[in-house]
A and B are shown apart, each in its own frame.
Chain A
Amino acid sequence: MAERAEHNEETGSVGHIAPAKLYVAIWAVLMVLTLTTVLVSMVDIGPMNIVVALVIATIKGTLVVLFFMHLRYSPKLTMATVIAAVFWLFLLLSLTMTDYLTRAWSTYPGH
């Protein structure tokens, strides 16, 4: 532990230089996905519109975090931190949805 900490102090952050071609490729994918979002928004597919938009946004976010923010080349502790953040977001959304999705199940008249 102590050794790794010292190593980091000397070299700054964990250095990894990805080839420029990779960045360009990721950028191109992001642009295609953006275009897809725009095009899909013009077609009415009911509630699936929001699902598609969110799925595409999630894929884009994942690409940015993995490559532009170097998560793919980072130590396991950094990965665990990011996974924890996503997991906690999942907790927030899923447990909130236990309320919203079942509120109408109530059998009392008028509710």
Chain B
Amino acid sequence: MATAVQIVERENYLNSNYGIKSWLLTTDHKRIAVLYLISITAMFWLGGFFAMMIRLELLTPAGDLVSSDTYNKLFTMHGIIMVFFFLIPSVPAVLGNFLVPLMVGAKDLAFPRVNLLSWYLYMAGAITALTAMVTGGVDTGWTFYTPFSTTYSNTHVIGAAIGIFIAGFSSILTGLNFIVTIHRMRAPGMTWRRLPLFCWSNYAAAVIMVLGTPVIAITLLLVALERAFNIGVFNPQLGGDPLLFQHLFWFYSHPAVYIMILPGMGVISEIVCCFSRKRAFGYEFIALASIAIAVLGFLVWAHHMFVAGISVYAALVFSLLSYLVAIPSAVKVFNWTATMYKGSISYNTPMLYAFGFIGLFTVGGLTGIFLSSLGLDVHVHDTYFVIAHFHYVMVGGMVMAYMAGLHFWWPKITGKMYPEAWAKLSALLVFVGFNTTFFPLFILGYMGSPRRYHAYPPEFQVLNVLSTAGASILAVGYVLPMIYFVWSLRYGADAGPNPWNATGLEWMTSSPPPTHNFDETPVVTWEAYDYEHQPQEEITVGH
């Protein structure tokens, strides 16, 4: 920078070339991550709109805002969009796509063109599912239980099923890309024991994506085929077995919960270490707990079927196995808190979200133990208790982690800082709004209020009003980041390569990173989270 002539913006992945074609035909993992970011944000708002409609209907005990048929379609579309088109791709396809190659010191993912294909498949799946919704909707619930979905529902089941079938391939390809990249493209010196925990958890999620997704894809294809051609797979009238559908569906859809939460846990591991200025307590245990969750997650699916008429002996086995998942999950929670112990903690926005994650995930996880115990599950099955439980894990856990990660790496992705004060406010609003929305549902469920009805007895109204009020606070908490992230693109302060003074290869390149990530291949000679040997600079940004 000695002469004025050289003050030119450094070449990066955003300014290397321009035009819509340079984005739609890109094979750069960072640009594909941005494409995913825009797409899943749109889906998040659509799913959120359906959620608000549900909450508005439940403001009063009478089913007055929408008819029961419309209500069935609303919660079905909310579920399908949020699960298959937002939560599953959220952290892996956006943050994972952007960060895994940077974190392992590679120039790109192993198969860049396959990566672009995965985005197109995602879009094709989303458009197919949305078409089914626009032309009349689906009313089966996101679970597509048979024989209702194959025989009795008069809605667009086939379109929605095909949409999820297509999007499944996008998920498989992303998982495949991560596995091969992490195995084969690590920089010299980046051993498995030096791998950032974010990569470990995305690796674990990738294993589930590759091994589990084909099962749901084929199962939903069978639903479509039975509906179209009356082949007897699931419908007992045609010689099929409806419980077979539930076995096949949950064989994927329970592990899918871990596809959603594991990458989120990776985000939290990165953030807790950075903002505590400590190495991860029990690094190996956190890493292997991810793998353990991925494997154990496949052995528990029938806890969704305890009241469906499965064998009591099978139910015993699945109940016991379900308890086991609590062990690696608890290992992670305890290790994060132990990492913070005697750490030099700073309360920046990503850390606030991480605190939220740890608390809410713990509540969500522990109520999961309630549901895996055979006796209690009979009482609260299909009530709002279940709704509260999985929203604590999915929204309180996963969306919190996604927001934490988005704030943490926003300076890396865009080169700009977001406004810290507004971001802290949004984190607070999300936490308060979330708890106000979903804690009353635990009580409602425990009192026996069943899910999936648009009307309810008047004595349940107070808790429902509380929940709807909370949802509007939560909505404000999500709208704020949308506004200030866009604002920061133009007006945000320049972030510099490493605003958090964090370890990790992604912070050693400029922000936004150049197209090929690193000017020369990095050589790693240190362990992950070597904060104790870093110069102890205060985090100055945003104070």
Contacts and interface: CB of A to CB of B under 8 A. Distances in A.
13 contacts: A5-B184, A5-B185, A77-B183, A84-B207, A88-B298, A92-B251, A95-B314, A95-B318, A99-B302, A101-B311, A102-B314, A103-B310, A103-B314
A39 to B, nearest CB: 27
Interface in B183-225: 183-188, 207, 211-212, 215
A106 B243 CA distance: 17
B299 interface: yes
A2 B187 contact: yes
B228 interface: no
A11 interface: no
Interface residues of B, number: 27
B314 to A, nearest CB: 4
B311 A105 contact: yes
A9 B299 CA distance: 38
A4 B188 CA distance: 12
Contacts of A95: 299, 301-302, 314, 317-318
Query: Is chain A's binding surface mostly helix, strand, loop or mixed?
Result: helix
Given A85-B211, A98-B314, A102-B313, 19 more contacts: A1-B184, A1-B185, A1-B186, A2-B521, A4-B184, A5-B184, A84-B211, A88-B211, A91-B299, A95-B301, A95-B302, A95-B318, A96-B251, A98-B311, A99-B243, A99-B247, A99-B310, A103-B311, A103-B314
A95 B299 CA distance: 8
B188 A2 contact: yes
B259 to A, nearest CB: 14
Interface in A80-95: 84-85, 88, 91-92, 95
Contacts of A2: 185-188, 521
Contacts of B243: 99
Interface string A47-65: 0000000000000000000
A92 B215 contact: yes
Interface in B290-310: 298-299, 301-302, 310
Nearest to B208: A88
A63 to B, nearest CB: 22
Interface of A: 1-2, 4-5, 8, 77, 84-85, 88, 91-92, 95-96, 98-103, 105-106
Contacts of A77: 183
8 nearest CB pairs, A to B: A99-B314, A103-B311, A102-B313, A102-B311, A98-B314, A5-B184, A88-B211, A99-B310
B42 interface: no
B184 A106 contact: no
Contacts of A92: 215, 248, 251
A99 B243 CA distance: 10
A3 to B, nearest CB: 9
Contacts of A85: 211
B238 interface: no
A1 B181 CA distance: 11
A50 B183 CA distance: 40
Contacts of B312: 102, 106
A98 B313 contact: yes
A74 to B, nearest CB: 14
Contacts of A102: 311-314
Interface string B244-263: 10011001000000000000
B247 A96 contact: yes
Nearest to B308: A99
Contacts of B186: 1-2
A106 B302 contact: no
Contacts of A1: 183-186
Contacts of A99: 243, 247, 302, 310-311, 314
A2 to B, nearest CB: 6
Contacts of A91: 298-299
Interface in B130-183: 183
A106 B247 contact: no
A92 B247 CA distance: 8
Nearest to A77: B183
